[in-house]
């Protein structure tokens, strides 16, 4: 292997730049030519490919977002699109890829490897922390801390006015962000897609808390089966009357959770995973993701990363419940 390329794809996450930097510098350390591809799979198809030097990744470690841009590509979902991508890589003589992203990114990488034999190693880049094969994903820790800072502020105003706030955090299919924010932010209730909590249960619970608490926080993962935070809040509110009904407010934190300077943990994880991906390529570990489990690098086949789910730690839910009374 002589020439490798790195790209970021899907939703950006803080720490992706640390990962890009690690891929570029590890590649150079091992005497490889390293290229970057902008805009993910669309960038491969369009030949948005640039040679990188060590200085190309200077001063990006601490920055959120991704200097390589990101996109969700429809064209790459087609065989014709992937053929165009293969032709572009052949033109540049690129014989290995590092894909930084989530399960959508790895699904594309797996199909591409199977069809055209281009070796790919992935790095887990998503704030959702929902990838099998790694304890944490790059960006999760930063997203939780960002959301937590917001929840602390909401707590202040909730307490001042004796209000109940429903706070929606990201997590399309998983409640990792919600649960960690709920524990760290001392939320009274957490609603996640992994467990069923009805609006009626929430209103009953909040009624029971009346004697002991004057304000409450309900953290809702965006993928919760009861709906989004506004919908759930409306249902819960309908169980209250008079002055109590006026206490309910909703805040959706949204994309603020995807930005910002990565925490030390995310810089470390991005750096470790980037190095492991390049060394994986050099050691013949293809079609897999370089994750970290119990502080050790583990290469997990894309097949498993995509198809196996990472269950939420039920101890966390229990902890949140006990501490919210
Ligand atoms: O997968 C990461 C994530 O931030 C999810 O939590 C969220 O549902 C989704 O991306 C939002 O995607 P987009 O930025 O395309 O709206």
Tokens 């489990």 belong to 293
CA dist., res. 325 & res. 314, Å (int): 18
- Choice from 9, 66, 102, 172 to test ligand 1 binding pocket (greatest atom count within 8 A of CB): 172
Task: State residue 79's pLDDT score.
Answer: 97
Q: How many CA atoms lie within 13 A of 238 on its CB side?
A: 7
Q: Cα of 5 to ligand 1 centre, how many Å?
A: 25
pLDDT along the chain (325 residues), means of 10: 97 98 98 98 98 98 98 96 98 98 97 97 98 98 98 98 98 96 98 97 96 96 97 98 95 98 98 99 97 98 97 96 95
For the Cβ of 11 lying below 6 angstroms from any atom of ligand 1, the answer is yes
Ligand 1 pocket check for 127: Cβ under 6 Å: yes
- CB of 102 closer than 6 angstroms to any ligand 1 atom: yes
Vertex 11 angle, CA 124 and 128, to 5°: 55
Residue 188: what pLDDT? 98
Long-range contacts of 47-56 (CB under 8 A, 24+ apart): 47/88, 47/91, 47/92, 49/5, 49/88, 49/92, 49/94, 52/6, 52/24, 53/28, 54/24, 54/25, 54/28, 56/24
Half-sphere exposure for 206 (CA within 13 Å, toward CB): 30
- Looking at residue 237, what is its pLDDT? 97
Among protein residues, the one whose CA lies closest to atom 10 of ligand 1:
11
Query: Is 137 close to ligand 1, i.e. is its CB under 6 Å away?
Result: no
Residue 126 beta carbon below 6 angstroms from any ligand 1 atom: yes
Nearest CA to ligand 1 atom 14: 11
Residue ID of nearest Cα to ligand 1 atom 12: 11
Q: What is the pLDDT of residue 240?
A: 96
The residue behind tokens 């989004």 is: 228
**Probe residue for ligand 1, chosen from 16, 100, 128 as the CB with the greatest number of ligand atoms within 8 Å:** 128
Measured CA to CA, the distance from residue 147 to residue 274 in angstroms comes to 26
Ligand 1 atom with minimal separation from the 102 CA: 1
pLDDT of residue 236: 98
If you measure from the C-alpha of residue 11 to the centroid of ligand 1, how many angstroms do you get, rounded to a whole number? Answer: 6
Chain centroid to CA 237: 31
Is 44:293 a contact under the CB 8 Å cutoff? no
């Amino acid at each position: 292997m002589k020439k490798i390329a790195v790209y970021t794809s899907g939703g950006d996450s803080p720490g992706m730049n640390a990962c890009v930097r690690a891929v570029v510098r590890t590649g150079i350390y091992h005497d490889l030519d390293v290229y970057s591809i902008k805009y993910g799979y669309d960038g491969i198809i369009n030949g948005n490919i640039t040679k990188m030097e060590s200085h190309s990744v200077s001063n990006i470690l601490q920055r959120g977002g991704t200097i390589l841009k990101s996109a969700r590509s429809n064209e790459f979902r087609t065989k014709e699109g992937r053929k165009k991508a293969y032709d572009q890589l052949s033109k540049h003589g690129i014989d290995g890829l590092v894909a930084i992203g989530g399960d959508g990114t790895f699904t594309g990488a797996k199909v591409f490897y199977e069809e055209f034999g281009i070796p790919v190693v992935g790095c887990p880049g998503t704030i959702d922390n929902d990838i099998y094969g790694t304890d944490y994903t790059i960006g999760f820790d930063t997203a939780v801390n960002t959301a937590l800072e917001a929840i602390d502020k909401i707590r202040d105003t909730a307490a001042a006015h004796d209000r109940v706030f429903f706070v929606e955090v990201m997590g399309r299919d998983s409640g990792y962000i919600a649960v960690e924010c709920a524990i760290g932010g001392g939320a009274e209730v957490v609603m996640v897609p992994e467990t069923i909590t009805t609006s009626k249960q929430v209103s009953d619970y909040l009624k029971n808390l009346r004697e002991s608490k004057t304000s409450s926080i309900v953290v809702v993962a965006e993928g919760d089966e009861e709906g989004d935070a506004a919908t759930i809040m409306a249902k819960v509110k309908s169980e209250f009357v008079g002055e109590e009904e006026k206490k309910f407010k909703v805040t959706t934190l949204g994309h603020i959770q995807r930005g910002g300077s990565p925490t030390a943990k995310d810089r470390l994880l991005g750096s470790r995973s980037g190095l492991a991906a390049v060394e994986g390529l050099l050691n013949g570990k293809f079609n897999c993701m370089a994750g970290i489990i119990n502080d050790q690098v583990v290469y997990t086949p894309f097949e498993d990363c995509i198809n196996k789910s990472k269950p939420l730690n039920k101890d966390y839910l229990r902890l949140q419940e006990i501490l919210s009374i």
